[in-house]
Structure 1
Amino acid sequence: MIRAAMSLVGLLGALAVVPPASAEGNSDYSVLMISRERLEVASSCEIGIYLNDQLAGRLFQEQSTSFNLPPGPVDVRLRLLPGQMPGCAPGIEDQRSTRLTLQAGQIKKYRIATGHKGLELRQANLGY
């Protein structure tokens, strides 16, 4: 019994020495969230998300994704991807991209929508 009490006291003492984990100190990155809601884009084709001209994610209807990115500017381009769904063959490529400037510790959420010039990002509420 005394041995168990001593080990408990030793364990509590060791825990007092370890600093608590904190997410506030690790804000050297930003979070970019992109969602695709069914009502915004009527196509059943897969949408590719390109960050700085590199394919970084793919979204079907009612999916979302997030990226941990370093602070600074990032170019985001959206494109319908060819796939197994009928009518998803590539057509004329839209080369427009949206430049976002992210700050350290910032969380930004966007949703994919269809505008006059094709697919676009619209800022959304975080919903917390």
Structure 2
Amino acid sequence: MFEDFTAWHIPPLFVATVTTFGGLIPFWNAGYAIEEFGLPKRIAISKEAQAVMITGSGRTTALGLVLFTFYSQGKFREVDTIMVILAYLGLVDGYVCWREGAPGKALFRAASGMLIAAWGWFGMTS
């Protein structure tokens, strides 16, 4: 598994780690996760929003696990492909934060998504 490891693999492994484990935070404290995401307190205290955050984060964790799985199988092109697709999530996250009055978080999320996608687009892992 790690015989092919290079420093170029650090960014996708970092993305896999933060999506897998960061996606677990709402299971223990959904209100905190919502605020950390960049949304206002009025949303964070909503039990309905917390439920949606937990289900969405479960899907995020699943994407992180897929990245780890493909990486461990040496399927680096597949890892790059998923990294490209993650651009969509960054743009959606940015849009939601922007719409809810958190332009700084919106910019960070959208830009991060684009950087992750660029890594995959240019095949930096494979």
Q: Place the TM-score, normalised by the shorter chain, in its bin.
A: under 0.3
Higher strand share: 1
